Every structure is written in structure tokens, then in C-alpha cells.
Amino acid sequence: MSTLKDKIILVTGSSRGIGATIARQLAAAGAKVIVNYAGGKDAAQQVVADIKQQGGDAIALQADVSKSDEVKALFDAAIAHYGRIDVLVNNAGIMITKLIKDTTDEDFTRQFDINVRGTFNTMREAATRLADKGSIINFSTSVNRIMLPAYGTYVATKAAVEQLTRVFSKEVGARGINVNSVAPVATNTELFTNGKSEEVIARLASLSAFNRIGEPDDIAQVVVFLAGDDAKWINAQNIGVNGGMA
Amino acid sequence: MNSLKNKVALITGSARGLGKAIAERYAALGADVVVNYSKDKASADEVVSNITAMGARVIAVQADVSKVADLEKLFAAAKEAFGKIDIVVANAGIEMVEVPVTDFTEEQFDKVFSINTKGTYFTMQQAAKHVSHNGRIIYIASSTTSFPVPGMAVYGGSKTTPRYLVDILSKEIGHKGITVNSIIPFAVDHSGIFADPAAYPALRKQLLDSCPMGRLAEVEDVANLAEFFASDLSSFVSGQHLLVNGGATN
């Protein structure tokens, strides 16, 4: 039974949504957490304040993961503060749901820049700068398995993340680093509920064996497991966290 | 972190190997445990005494999983002893490797399928009938179903059907909050066909060469995942098949 005590964990995009819940749960399990944000400074500082109030340790660091120089600076600042990084959680991501015919060049580029290039940028830094025996947890989506209209570009980005995950695990395995992805679906966050009617949400909930959509805690607790040493032998896997939907 | 206090876990084929490691892990986390064995009473008794020493309640029940009547007795004995069943691990199985398709006999085929396929099906049927709300059903699968290797036709085939059963059962009983998942272990060292480290040298080398972490699995690697699937951490993870193979590709 592993604890996360003394592990230094970087969670990208953790000022809000699933990322903020992950940061809180990791801290509650004993980890020191780097709360990364792109624009939500106040929200990130609130997450840090909440963690500290519970007796935990965290700092907030700004970086747009889609920019390699900012990611490099993020690793510099995190390592300067905590001495090392043990676990990288690539949670930052955006979702734009439009039919392919309606998707603009900018919609396409923004999603690939943040979801794929962002994950690529942090993994490229992690390849040489994450501590030996560290762990990396990427974010895919279970929508990859159910083929919903209007999610085409989004699932394309996440398919790329899954493939990067599998290949990167072979490249860093010799340092004892394991690399996995989790695949949530329909989770009760702003990213998902924005612009959806109750009826649409109920229909998506009905696809789960538990007849509900996911909560951020459902996803975060799986990340807690994957961040610990008990999960070390799980490597290059994609884990659906979807209530049996797919 | 994880506690299984006040939970009752039943693990088929838990006198030795993976099943034993899972049974002892659950006991260490506070669960009451039902140990099942087919023939090896002496080993089952040893597991019982290990678990008793941890302070958990435990019984050992003989049952051949390929016989439905035996399974019914196993589950009835568990309920009689502990009043309920929260976690079922369908682990019992036999291995038969390095036999080309052309060489299998009808008798060998029937034996492997009766334990691995029929036995798992009816274990999970009993589990579906008896496991408490918000309980757990866990199937111990095989990575040969993900990475087909020559000589594994009947063994891998027998392990493929229950994978589909996990998919369906997770949907049929999700309304009770019960999760159903597969653990897909890589070849486990010091256990099963690799209990003797000198056994199957060519297969061992092939497997080791394919693993970026450069080793086979240990029973504790699998018990770690069995702990996760039994714990509250995995409450929204269902219908999943998770490899625990260090990133191996064979």
C-alpha cells in the first residue's frame, strides 16, 4: 500500500476542473504539488491556499504548456523550489465540440497545440529532468471508444496522446519511469457541461453502467493510484475511467 | 491508504501463486477472506495460517471451479461463514503453453476450457448473484490474449471468452454499483509455469526482451492492481481490462 509522502508532483492545468481535484487529492495523500495554470491565476492560488489550509504543501506556477520555452521555465522553477519532480500529470487540455465541417483552422490548431503539443512539451522535458523511477500520467478520453459526432478533432488529439504514451514508455523505461494515460468521459466539470442541456447530459449519463456522469473525484482517485509506487508495473496502458461506458 | 475492513473477499484458486498473494494482500488490508483450492489442501492450510496470523478471519473451502455444484457450495459456505460477499476474484485457472495447434488433444482442450472458461463463467455467475451492492468482481486474465504467441492457442483461447463476459456483466450489474474488471498479468516469475526459473528458457527470453523494465512480473505487482480494483479508488472504473506488464509488447 503506497503513500505519496514526499513525492513532488506537477499537475498541468490544475487551477480548475479535474486538475484542481487531482491536485487536492494528491496533496491529501501526502504529495507536494505544483499547481500549473495558463490563465487562471486566482483559481490556482485558491487551490494552493486550500491545500495549505489542510496542512499540505503546494505552489502555483504559470506556464502555457503549448509553448516549449514556458514549459522549460516551468520545470526550472519547480525544480528550483522543490529540488526535483517525481510525477508529471499531463491534465491540461481543451475540448471544442463541433462537427468537422464547422471546425475552423483555429479550433483545430488550438486543440492540437494544447492537448498534443502541450503533452509532448512536458514529456520532452521530463525525458531528462523527471526523477528516476518517476511516473507520468497523461489524459486521453473514453470518447475515443464511442465515436460521438462533433468530437472528431478532440478525439484525434487524444488518440495522439495515447500513442505518445505507449512509445514514450519504451524510451524512458530504462530509468524506471512508467507512463500511462487515463481516459475519462463525460465528467461533471465546466469543460464538459458548458453549453449542454440537462437532456443531453442525462443521455450521456445513461451510457454509463452506473447511470451517471463522472465526478472529478472519480478520476482523481485513479490518478492517485497511478502516481504511487504500487502502480509501478502498470506501464504503457490506457485506463478507462468511465463507469463502464466503454 | 486503502482499507478493506468489514469486507469479505472470495478468491478462487488461492492456495498458491497469484491467488495466494491476492488473498494475503486483502487480509493485510483488513478483509475477511475465503480461500479456495481444488486439490492442494496443505498449501491452502498454510495460507489460512498466514492470514490468521494477520488477525483476519479466514476459511478455506475445497471446490473444483469446473463444477457448478462445487461453486454453489463455495459461495454458500462463504455466506454462511461471513454473512455476505463483497469482492470476488475469479483467479483459478490452468496453464498449458508451447503446444502447437496441431498437437492438442480433445482431452487437453476440454480440460483447459472446463477450468478457465466454464469455471470462470460460473464463478462470475455466482458472483453476480451474491456480491453485495457496490461490490467488486475481478477477473485474472492473461496477456497472451493481448499479444498472441505461438503455442498459446488453447490457453489464450480459453482466457479470451471471459474478457467478453467482463464487458457484458459490467453493464448488466452496474446498476448495483458493482464494478467488473479484468487484470491482465504478464508472465509471473516464481509462479505458475515459471515457478522453476529454468523452465521454458526460450519463452522467458522472448518475454524479457520485450519488456522495457527488463523483468517478468512478480505476484506483488498483480496484488497491487488487485488492491486498486478492490478499493474505493476504482469505484468508477468498470468494464476495463488493465495490463500489468511493465510496458511489455509480448
Burial class (CB in 10 A: 0-12, 13-18, 19+), B215: middle
A5 — phi, psi (to 5°)? -55, 130
Q: Is A240 an 8 Å CB contact of chain B?
A: yes
Q: Is A232 an 8 Å CB contact of chain B?
A: yes
pLDDT for B141-157, tens place per residue?
Answer: 999 998 888 899 999 99
Task: Closest CB to B247: pick one of A173, A214, A221.
Answer: A173
CA distance A77 to chain B (A): 30
Chain A residues lying within 8 Å of B174, measured CB to CB = 208-211, 243-244
CATH of the domain at A88: 3.40.50.720
Domain membership flag for residue A200: no
What's residue A147's pLDDT?
85
Q: Is A169 an 8 Å CB contact of chain B?
A: yes
CA distance A102 to chain B (A): 34
Q: Is A51 an 8 Å CB contact of chain B?
A: no
Domain membership flag for residue A169: yes
Q: Is B170 an 8 Å CB contact of chain A?
A: yes
What's residue B191's pLDDT?
87
The count of structural domains within chain A is 1
Domain membership flag for residue B220: yes
Identify whether A37 is a catalytic site residue. Answer: no
What's residue B2's pLDDT?
85
What's residue A24's pLDDT?
98
Phi-psi region of A92 (alpha: psi -120 to 50; beta: other; left: phi over 0): beta
Place A211 in a pLDDT band, splitting at 50, 70 and 90. very high
CA distance A157 to chain B (A): 22
In this complex, how many residue pairs, one in chain A and one in chain B, have their CB atoms less than 8 Å apart? 113
Interchain CB distance below 8 Å, B212 and A170: yes
pLDDT for B24-33, tens place per residue?
Answer: 999 999 999 9
Interchain CB distance below 8 Å, A243 and B174: yes
Domain membership flag for residue B27: yes
Q: A172 - beta bridge partners?
A: none
Domain membership flag for residue B248: no
Interchain CB distance below 8 Å, A174 and B224: no
In 3D, which of A95, A83, A76 has the Cα closest to residue A36? A76
Place A190 in a pLDDT band, splitting at 50, 70 and 90. confident
User: C-alpha cell of B90?
Assistant: 475469479
3-state class (DSSP) for residue A60: strand
Domain membership flag for residue B135: yes
Domain membership flag for residue A23: yes
The count of structural domains within chain B is 1
Domain membership flag for residue A2: no
User: What pTM, to 2 d.p., does this model score?
Assistant: 0.89
Domain span at residue B49 reads 8-242
Report whether B139 contacts B120 (CB < 8 A): yes
Interchain CB distance below 8 Å, B232 and A221: yes
Domain membership flag for residue A13: yes
The mean pLDDT of chain A is: 96
Chain B residues lying within 8 Å of A240, measured CB to CB = 237, 239-240
Q: Which of A234, A238, A245 to probe the B interface (max B CBs under 10 A)?
A: A234
Domain span at residue A89 reads 8-185+215-241
Q: Within 13 Å, how many C-alpha atoms sit on residue A105's CB side?
A: 0
Place B23 in a pLDDT band, splitting at 50, 70 and 90. very high
What's residue A138's pLDDT?
98
Q: What percent of chain A has pLDDT over 70?
A: 99
Place B217 in a pLDDT band, splitting at 50, 70 and 90. very high
pLDDT for A102-117, tens place per residue?
Answer: 999 999 999 999 999 9
What's residue B1's pLDDT?
60
Domain membership flag for residue A43: yes
pLDDT for B77-134, tens place per residue?
Answer: 999 999 999 999 999 999 998 899 999 999 999 999 999 999 999 999 999 999 999 9
- pLDDT(A1) > 60: no
Least confidently predicted of A38-52, A86-100, B52-66, B194-208:
B194-208
Domain membership flag for residue B60: yes
Chain A residues lying within 8 Å of B227, measured CB to CB = 1, 230
CATH of the domain at B200: 3.40.50.720
Average confidence (pLDDT) over B41-55 = 97
| Residue whose C-alpha cell reads 520545470 in the numeric block | A75
DSSP per position, A151-176? -HHHHHHHHHHHHHHHHHHHHHGGGT
